[in-house]
Amino acid sequence: MTSNQSKRKVIIVDDHTLFRNGLRILLNNLENYHVVGEASNGKQFLDLIKTSTPDLVLMDISMPVMDGIEASTIAHELYPDLKIITLSMYGEEDYYYKMVNAGVKGFVLKNSDIKEVKAALDVVYDGGSFFSSELLQNLISSLKSAPKSKELHSELSEREMEILILICQGLSNQEIADKLFISKRTVDKHRANILEKSESKNTAQLVVYAIKNRFVEL
């Protein structure tokens, strides 16, 4: 059995005590994860990470005192490599883009089962971005009616558009390379160009940007 010292450390930030307690029990029953701290609002979380550095954070959006958007923004200014996953409820789609801009790397619905939460933790811990499929559909519906913020389509090459779609489908650079029969180095270069042209800082931001501007429909 894996000792707590060797497990990946998680902090839960949510203003509902019962929800935190239940999630803590579920996470502590996973082989590779251990909850090392909890906070009921963003301010408590910022105080907590001064003394306890987690591998991953599960962050609620709507909280008293300080919400998840402000807390994530400040936390990433202090700790740029901090990996935060948003705990989302239905109806909070308007906040997703703000959370992505704050540096969040993943989104899971609060009614997700523990398998999906674990999948999000695994993907984000390994450096990827995670959007639950159900949440993505909500996001698409929410952002379809939003006005395009800039004309990007004409700036992307046909290959870049092809790679953008595969990125938004959750494929890794290596998986994209295998699918398109090109080298991973070539995909890396295209991905960097797409991020630069879209003014996106990370994959999560790129996914939201692509949907918001209706370049892809997942």
What pLDDT score was predicted for residue 24? 96
Cα 34 from Cα 40, distance rounded (Å) = 18
Q: How far is CA 99 from CA 94, 173, 187, 218, in A?
A: 10, 24, 27, 20
Number of Cβ atoms within 10 Å of the Cβ of 118: 18
Sign, CA torsion 209/211/212/215: positive
CB 143 within 8 A of CB 93: yes
Flag residues of the chain having pLDDT under 50. Answer: 143, 218
What pLDDT score was predicted for residue 179? 92
Place of tokens 């991905």: 191
What pLDDT score was predicted for residue 56? 97
What pLDDT score was predicted for residue 140? 58
Place of tokens 């992505």: 100
Q: How far is CA 38 from CA 4, 25, 52, 89, in A?
A: 16, 12, 11, 19
What ranges do the domains of the chain cover? 4-143, 149-212
Q: What is the pTM of this model?
A: 0.73
CATH node for 4-143 = 3.40.50.2300
Tell which residue, 7, 13, 6, 170, has the closest CA to residue 84.
13
Place of tokens 């301010």: 43
The string of pLDDT tens digits covering residues 84-119 is 999 988 666 667 778 888 888 888 989 889 999 999
Alpha carbons within 13 A on the beta-carbon side of 26 = 15
What pLDDT score was predicted for residue 103? 86
Cα 19 from Cα 38, distance rounded (Å) = 11
Q: Domain 149-212 class?
A: mainly alpha
Q: What is the DSSP string of 50-90?
A: TT---SEEEEESS-SSS-HHHHHHHHHHH-TT--EEEEE-T
